[in-house]
Amino acid sequence: MKNRIASIFGILAIFTLLTLFPPAVQNANGIEWLRQWLSGESNTPEAQYRTGWRYLMGEGVPQDYEKAKVWFRRAAERGHLDAQYALGFAYAEGSGAIEDQAEAVKWFRKSAELGNSNAMIALGECYLKGKGIPEDKAEAIKMFRKSAEYGNGHAMFRLGMCYMVGDGVQQDEAESKKWFAAAAKKGLLENRSCRQDGLDCRTRQNER
């Protein structure tokens, strides 16, 4: 009897989706969201993060940065490291939230402490530029290195740039080339041209 009632409610829910929601919702993402809602999976941090991502990208729902931030926060407060990084980015860029660099640093740090290598880079940039936190170039390099140890090619590229111009470290051409080469192996095209041309990429960087 309970299964029959559940099936009836499921049919009614699908009918509601198809009749009341716009065509953008009537796709695989919308059906998947409905399935998660019916099963209770939408209450998990991962589902909340994915809901935030859909609002951020406009996948299956109208794009809405404020709603994205709300969902990211729900997941972030429950320890979801990717949601914490996304929430930090929202505060850093003022996307769906009032720009707040200190709040961005707070969430980048939480995510980095859980092992998010992209959050480590973001936190490193905050230290490097003194955004939301006192400038500390040595700590910035430390965060870039830690991210690189996780295999993050963007962190490797960032280290290459720091050694190339002497930002936070002593200028070192050999060390710079080493990190650019490591980043290139991760498939970063810009880094590959830096590896091939040595420090000639400094000229291209300054031309931008």
Q: What is the pLDDT of residues 97-139, one digit of tens each?
A: 899 999 999 999 999 999 999 999 999 999 999 999 999 999 9
The DSSP 8-state label assigned to residue 67 in this structure reads H
| pLDDT at site 181 | 93
Give how far the C-alpha of residue 200 lies from the chain's centroid of Cα atoms, to the nearest Å. 30
User: Would you say 143 and 112 are in contact if contact means Cβ atoms under 8 Å apart?
Assistant: yes
| pLDDT at site 96 | 87
* Long-range contacts, stretch 167-176, CB < 8 angstroms, 24+ apart: 167/128, 167/137, 168/128, 168/137, 168/138, 168/140, 168/141, 169/141, 173/198, 173/199
| pLDDT at site 195 | 43
What domains lie within the chain, and their CATH numbers? 73-150 (1.25.40.10), 153-208 (no CATH)
| pLDDT at site 190 | 53
Q: Which residue has the tokens 């996307």?
A: 95
Compute mean pLDDT per 10 residues along the chain, 208 residues long, and list them.
Answer: 45 44 49 51 85 94 94 97 97 92 98 97 97 97 97 96 95 95 82 43 37
| pLDDT at site 38 | 45
Of 80, 6, 68, which is closest to residue 44 (Cα–Cα)? 80
Instruction: Give me 192's structure tokens.
Output: 């590959």
User: Would you say 110 and 83 are in contact if contact means Cβ atoms under 8 Å apart?
Assistant: no
